[in-house]
């Protein structure tokens, strides 16, 4: 029985091939999920465990002669590229008398977006996409945020609550005009914010502009994304924020 158990334990890991790995972008404090496509011939591999640590393994049964998808998770703690440690493959099948395992390091990573931090649109540059000139949306449908008061702004749009803080006058900005585009420019953010705080504010603004179906662009050092809409545009902007300051050689 010992010999049979040892044979099955060994055979349960033998011949497993990894075909690909991917991980969708996440935000900090989320779990990054790495999905592996694996293949094995001829026989079932039962109760094979995968994980990035001993205490986070998860059991999977591998069906022979087809592509199987297994997942392993690891916490995403900060913006940038998350490169997990080696993947543990473990089994004690069938009786738990023997243990077989292997650690495999893959050349893979997961994009981690900045943590969104709420902030008003006071730093946004509003552009009229029809006329090409600067413009503050004056519709009443959607409140975008605040901007510094400029001579000629409608007095009804002055935010007296924000202005009462003693830092000057602020005007409410509305985005009810569908012809209005928004340019989110890091250089217009407060100098009191450090770089990570600025990226977090811009991340929030990208998500908010997308929810409001605005045409928006993004300006950060080395990146100038023109105003556009849609899921792929949102992903492009968030990816630019996530990878800011990261060497191109580190991007997989």
One DSSP character per residue, 20-72 reads EEEE--B-TTSEEEEEEEEE--SS-EEEEEEESSGGG-EEEEEPTTS-EEEEE
CA separation, residue 168 to residues 61, 120, 184, 223 (Å):
64, 16, 22, 31
pLDDT at 163 over 70: no
For residues 133 and 129, what is the distance between their CA atoms, to the nearest angstrom?
8
Q: What angle, 0 to 180 degrees and rounded to 10, lies between the N-to-C axes of helices 231-242 and 195-211?
A: 180
pLDDT at 1 over 60: yes
CA-closest candidate to residue 162, choices 194, 121, 200: 121
Between residues 107 and 157, which one has the greater pLDDT?
107
* Upstream peptide bond of 237 is cis (omega within 30 degrees of 0): no
Beta strand 180-185 pairing with 215-220: parallel
Token pair in block for residue 107: 């050349």
Position 171 scores a pLDDT of: 75
**Full-prediction pTM beyond 0.75?**
yes
Q: What angle do CA 112, 24, 121 make, to 5 degrees?
A: 50
Position 3 scores a pLDDT of: 73
pLDDT digits 0-9 by tens, 179-238: 568 899 999 888 899 999 999 999 999 999 999 888 999 999 999 999 999 999 999 999
Average pLDDT over residues 163-191: 74
Q: How confident is the model at residue 252 (pLDDT cuts 50, 70, 90)?
A: low
2-112 — its CATH code? 2.60.40
- Range(s) of the chain covered by CATH 2.60.40: 2-112
pLDDT digits 0-9 by tens, 123-157: 566 554 443 344 444 444 566 666 667 777 777 77
CA separation, residue 113 to residues 76, 80, 101 (Å):
10, 7, 33
pLDDT digits 0-9 by tens, 29-83: 999 999 999 999 999 999 999 999 998 899 999 999 999 999 999 999 999 999 9
Query: Contact, 214 vs 181, CB < 8 A?
Result: yes
Q: How confident is the model at residue 4 (pLDDT cuts 50, 70, 90)?
A: confident
Dihedral sign of CA atoms 27, 29, 31, 32 in order: positive
């Amino acid at each position: 029985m010992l010999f049979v158990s040892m044979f099955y334990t060994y055979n349960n890991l033998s011949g497993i091939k990894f075909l690909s790995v991917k991980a969708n972008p996440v935000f900090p404090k989320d779990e990054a999920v790495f999905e592996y496509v694996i293949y094995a011939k001829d026989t079932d591999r039962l109760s094979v465990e995968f994980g990035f640590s001993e205490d986070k393994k998860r059991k999977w049964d591998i069906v022979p002669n087809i592509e199987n998808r297994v997942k392993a998770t690891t916490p995403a703690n900060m913006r940038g590229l998350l490169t997990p440690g080696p993947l543990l493959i473990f089994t004690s099948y069938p009786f738990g008398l023997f243990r077989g395992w292997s650690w495999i390091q893959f050349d893979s990573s997961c994009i981690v977006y900045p943590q969104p931090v709420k902030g008003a649109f006071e730093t946004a540059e509003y552009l009229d996409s029809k006329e090409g000139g600067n413009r503050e949306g004056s519709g009443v449908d959607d409140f975008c945020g605040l901007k510094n008061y400029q001579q000629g702004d409608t007095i009804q749009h002055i935010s007296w609550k924000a202005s009462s803080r003693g830092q000057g006058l602020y005007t409410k900005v509305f985005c009810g005009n569908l012809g209005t585009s928004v340019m989110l420019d890091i250089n217009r953010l407060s100098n009191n914010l450090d770089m990570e705080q600025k990226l977090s504010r811009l991340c929030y603004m990208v998500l908010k502009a997308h929810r409001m179906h605005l045409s928006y662009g993004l300006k950060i050092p080395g990146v100038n994304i023109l105003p556009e809409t849609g899921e792929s545009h949102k992903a492009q902007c968030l990816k630019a924020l996530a990878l800011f300051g990261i060497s191109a050689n580190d991007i997989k």
